Amino acid sequence: MDEVIEKLKIAFGTSFAFYMKAHNFHWNVEGPNFYQFHEFFGDIYEEVQSSLDSTAEQIRTLDAYTPGSLNRLQELSAISGEDRVELSPLTMVQILLADNETARTAFLSAFAAAEKQNLQGLMDHLAARIDAHNKHRWMLNSHLKKVG
């Protein structure tokens, strides 16, 4: 069970970092298509933010404590911080695409650990998070596609 808890905490910390980065980009995006990117990044951070509580509760159902300090979340995250804010919107998209894959991989790893323990409810939650990150991947990739 320790492996499941550790991998779930890593997924939680990674998800929190992804949420923060998307929120940062939402606040700081600039350029001719400001409004579209502002809304797009807002949709991403709001979706991820809405999932954090249920992931934290999944940790608690395993009789473990949810990490709650920024230092601990940063230690657990597989995503590095992003202090640069003067980036083009497409650079922000590229960064989020890479970080989305990191978050997706963290949830896949937690799913594999939960599957070994046959934790069906947790697997359902993790599958939903994987699906959400698959959708983010599609949308982020679509912004980078060259048309014509």
* Amino acid (one-letter) located at 25: F
d(CA 85, CA 28): 6
What token pair was written down for 105?
């991989």
What token pair was written down for 15?
């998800």
pLDDT digits (tens, 9 = 90+) for 90-127: 999 999 999 999 999 999 999 999 999 999 999 999 99
pLDDT of residue 146: 80
Q: Which domain holds residue 79?
A: 2-144
* Reported pTM: 0.95
pLDDT digits (tens, 9 = 90+) for 59-74: 999 999 999 999 999 9
What token pair was written down for 101?
């894959």
Which element (helix H / strand E) includes 75?
A: helix 70-76
Alpha carbon of residue 99 to chain centroid: 7
What token pair was written down for 38?
């502002």
pLDDT of residue 144: 93
pLDDT of residue 84 exceeding 80? no
Q: Structural domain tally of the chain?
A: 1
Looking up residue 75, the CATH number of its domain turns out to be 1.20.1260.10
